[in-house]
A and B are shown apart, each in its own frame.
Chain A
Amino acid sequence: MATINNLSEQEKEILEIIKTIPDPEVGVNIVDLGLIYEVSYNETDRRIDIKMTLSARGCPVGDAILQQVQTVVSNMYPGFYVDVDLVWEPAWTPELITEDGKAALDGGF
C-alpha cells in the first residue's frame, strides 16, 4: 500500500475524493485530520484499498465515516472492489493533523 506521502497520481485523486468527507463532530475533513494512513489503487485487480483510523475509539460516528469512505470511493470507481480497513495502530495523535486541518480547527468550528 502507498502511504500518504508516496501516492501515485490515481491514488492522489482518490485522496481528493475522500477529502470531501468531514468528521461530523469537528467539521474538518478526515484527510486533513490525519485519519487516512494508506491508499492503494490496483488497476490490474480493479481494487482500491484504504487503511484508516479514527481519532478516538469512542468516536460515536466512526461507523458512519467508514461507510461514507467506502460509498464515496465506490461511486467514483464503479466496477472496482473498495476495501476500507480500520486500524488502531499506529494510534492517531493530533500531530497527524495537517497544517490546513490545524488552521480549520484554530479558526474555530
Chain B
Amino acid sequence: MAKMQAGLSTKNAPSPKVVLPHYAYAAFAFIAASILLYFSANDLISTTLSPKILSMVHVLVLGWASMMIFGALYQLIPVVMEIKLYSEKLAMASFILLGIGTPLMAISFWTSFIGATIMMIAGGTLVLLSVLLFVINTLLSARKSDIKSIENRFIVTSGFWLLIAVSYGLLMIIHPNILSHNSLQIHIHLGIIGWFMTLIVGVASVLMPMFFISHQLNRKYLTAAYWVINGGLLFLLVSFYLKANTYIIVAAATTIIVGFILFIKYNYDAYKKRLRRKLDIGMKHSVLAFVLLFITLTAAFISAFGDAFGNVVMHRAIVIYGISLFFGFITSLILGQMYKTLPFIIWLKLYQDKVGKFKTPLPADMHSQKVADLHYQSFVTAFVILLAGLLFSSVLLIKIAAILMLITALLYTYNTIKVLAHKEKLEPLVFPKPKPIPKTKAN
C-alpha cells in the first residue's frame, strides 16, 4: 500500500461542502457589484462617498473578495500549515453569517446611507460575527501547526486586522462621533492594507512561485515586506487618528508602498525564473493583476497628498485608488486564482479514488477555454474604459465599463458553475505492454 506520509496535504483537506459554497456565492456577488457599478457611475464622478458607492464597495469587499478568500483559505491553510482545519462547523457558520450580513449591509447603505438602522446593525453584527469565527478558526488551526513560516505569519496577522477593521466599521455606525478622528480612513486602510493586502502578500508568495515552477527566490524580500507593510500601516493608522499633517501621511503611505514593491519584486523574480513559460488563464489573470497594482500604488501615493494638488486631482486619485484596487488588482487575481484552485478541489472530490484505475480528465479540462479567454478580454477592456471614465469624469464611459464588467462576471460565473457541476468522465486506461515475467521456482 502507498504509505500515507505525514505532511501530505490532502489528508488534511476540509470537506468540499465547506469550501465550494464560498466560490459560488462570490461569483454572484461579483455580478451584483458590476450591476451596482453601473448605477454608481454618476456618484463616482462627483463624490467618493455616497449610498450607492458604499453599497457597491461593501458587496465587492465582503461578498466578492472576502468570501472568496475565506473559502480559499479553508482549503489552503491545511496545505501550508500541514494540519487539519480546527473546525468545519465554524467555517460553515462563518459562511452563513457573511452570506446574510453582506446583502443586509448593502441594502442598508443603499437606502439609508450611514444611518444606524436595525438592518444595518443586524447586517454589520452578522459580518462581525462571521469574521470573529473565521479568525478563531484560523488562529486555533495555526496554533496546532509546526510550520511557522513568514507566509503563515502574513495569514494570521491579516485576520487580526480584519477583525479590527470590521469592528471599527460597526462602531462608526453605532457611535458616529468617532468619525471626527478620521475613523473612515482608519477603517478603510485597516481593511485594504491590513486585511486584503497582507493576506494576498502571504498567499500569493506561496502560490505564484509554485504555479510558475520557480526556485531559489530570495525570501528576505518577503520578511522585509511583512515588517515594512505592517509597520507602515501602524504608522499610517496612528497618523490618521492624530490627524497628522499631509507630509506625515505621505511618509507613512510611502513606507507601505515600498513594502508592496518588495512583494512585487519577489513575484517578478518568480515570473522571470519560471519554467512554465506559457501562461494558462489562471496565471494570465494573476500576472495582469500585478500590472494593475502599479496603477493602484500610483493613485494611492497621490491620494496621500490630500488636496495639495487641488480637489479635482484628489477626488480622481481617491476614486482611482479604490476602484483600481477592487475592480482591478483584487478582481483580476481572484478571476485567475479560481482556475488554479477550484478545479483541483472538484477533481479530488470526483477522481481521487479512481486514479490509476481509469483515465480521468485533468483539472484544466473542466472549464471552457473559450469563455475564459473571452472574460480575460472583456475584463481588460472593461478596466481600461473604467479608468478612462474615472480620469475624464465620463458617466457614459463608466456605464459602458460596468456593462463589460458585468459580461466578465457572467462569463466567469459560467465557468465557475461549469467546474462546480463537472460530471465524472472515465475512460479505460491504456498502458505499454510489459514483457512477460519469466517463471521462477517460487511460482
Residues of A within 8 A of B (CB): 9-10, 13-14, 16-17, 20-22, 24-27, 43-44, 46, 55-72, 75-77, 83-86, 88, 93-94, 97, 102, 105-109
Q: A20-B430, A63-B4, A67-B2 are in contact. List 12 more A-B contacts (CB 8 A).
A: A22-B362, A27-B364, A44-B442, A63-B352, A64-B348, A67-B355, A69-B2, A84-B2, A86-B2, A97-B275, A108-B277, A109-B278
User: Chain B contact residues (Cβ within 8 angstroms of A): what range?
Assistant: 35 or more
Q: Would B275 and A94 count as touching, CB distance under 8 A?
A: yes
Q: Which 10 A-B pairs have the closest CB atoms?
A: A108-B278, A71-B356, A63-B10, A70-B2, A68-B355, A68-B356, A84-B2, A86-B5, A72-B356, A66-B2
Q: Is B231 an interface residue (CB 8 A)?
A: no
Q: Would A26 and B434 count as touching, CB distance under 8 A?
A: no
Q: Would A9 and B431 count as touching, CB distance under 8 A?
A: no
Question: How far apart are the CA atoms of A26 and B210 in the complex, in Å?
Answer: 11
Chain A residues lying within 8 Å of B353, measured Cβ to Cβ, are 67
Q: Would B355 and A64 count as touching, CB distance under 8 A?
A: yes
Q: Would B10 and A64 count as touching, CB distance under 8 A?
A: yes
Chain A residues lying within 8 Å of B80, measured Cβ to Cβ, are 58
Given contacts A67-B355, A109-B276, contact A46 B364 (CB under 8 A): no
Given contacts A69-B2, A71-B357, A72-B356, contact A9 B434 (CB under 8 A): no
Q: Would A71 and B355 count as touching, CB distance under 8 A?
A: yes
Q: Is B423 an interface residue (CB 8 A)?
A: no
Q: 9 A-B contacts, Cβ less than 8 Å apart?
A: A22-B362, A26-B276, A46-B442, A57-B82, A58-B210, A60-B348, A64-B351, A69-B356, A75-B357
Q: Would A105 and B344 count as touching, CB distance under 8 A?
A: no
Question: Measured between C-beta atoms, what is the minimum distance from A6 to chain B in Å?
Answer: 19
Q: Which of A24, A83, A105 has the most CB of B within 10 A?
A: A24
Q: Which of B428-443 contact A (CB under 8 A)?
A: 429-432, 434-435, 437, 440, 442
Residues of B within 8 A of A (CB): 1-5, 7-11, 13, 75, 79-80, 82, 206, 210-211, 213-215, 275-278, 280, 340, 344, 347-348, 351-353, 355-357, 362-364, 429-432, 434-435, 437, 440, 442
Chain A residues lying within 8 Å of B1, measured Cβ to Cβ, are 70, 83
Question: Measured between C-beta atoms, what is the minimum distance from B131 to chain A in Å?
Answer: 25
Given contacts A26-B213, A58-B210, A109-B364, contact A67 B275 (CB under 8 A): no
Chain B residues lying within 8 Å of A102, measured Cβ to Cβ, are 275
Q: Would B434 and A58 count as touching, CB distance under 8 A?
A: no
User: Which residue of chain A lies nearest to B351 when distances are taken between CB atoms in the complex?
Assistant: A64
Chain B residues lying within 8 Å of A22, measured Cβ to Cβ, are 362
Question: How far apart are the CA atoms of A34 and B391 in the complex, in Å?
Answer: 51
Q: Would A43 and B7 count as touching, CB distance under 8 A?
A: no
Q: Would A16 and B8 count as touching, CB distance under 8 A?
A: no
Given contacts A24-B362, A69-B356, A105-B275, contact A61 B2 (CB under 8 A): no
Taking a contact as CB atoms closer than 8 A, the residue among B7, B352, B356 that contacts A75 in the complex is B356
Q: Would B362 and A60 count as touching, CB distance under 8 A?
A: no
Question: Measured between C-beta atoms, what is the minimum distance from A102 to chain B in Å?
Answer: 7
Chain B residues lying within 8 Å of A105, measured Cβ to Cβ, are 213, 275-277
Q: Would B9 and A94 count as touching, CB distance under 8 A?
A: no
Question: Measured between C-beta atoms, what is the minimum distance from A101 to chain B in Å?
Answer: 9
Question: How far apart are the CA atoms of A94 and B217 in the complex, in Å?
Answer: 13
Question: How far apart are the CA atoms of A68 and B357 in the complex, in Å?
Answer: 8
Taking a contact as CB atoms closer than 8 A, the residue among B4, B7, B429, B434 that contacts A57 in the complex is B7
Chain B residues lying within 8 Å of A13, measured Cβ to Cβ, are 432, 434-435
Chain B residues lying within 8 Å of A57, measured Cβ to Cβ, are 7, 9, 82
Chain A residues lying within 8 Å of B278, measured Cβ to Cβ, are 106-109
Taking a contact as CB atoms closer than 8 A, the residue among A17, A55, A72, A85 that contacts B3 in the complex is A85
Taking a contact as CB atoms closer than 8 A, the residue among A43, A64, A94 that contacts B213 in the complex is A94
Q: Would B213 and A55 count as touching, CB distance under 8 A?
A: yes
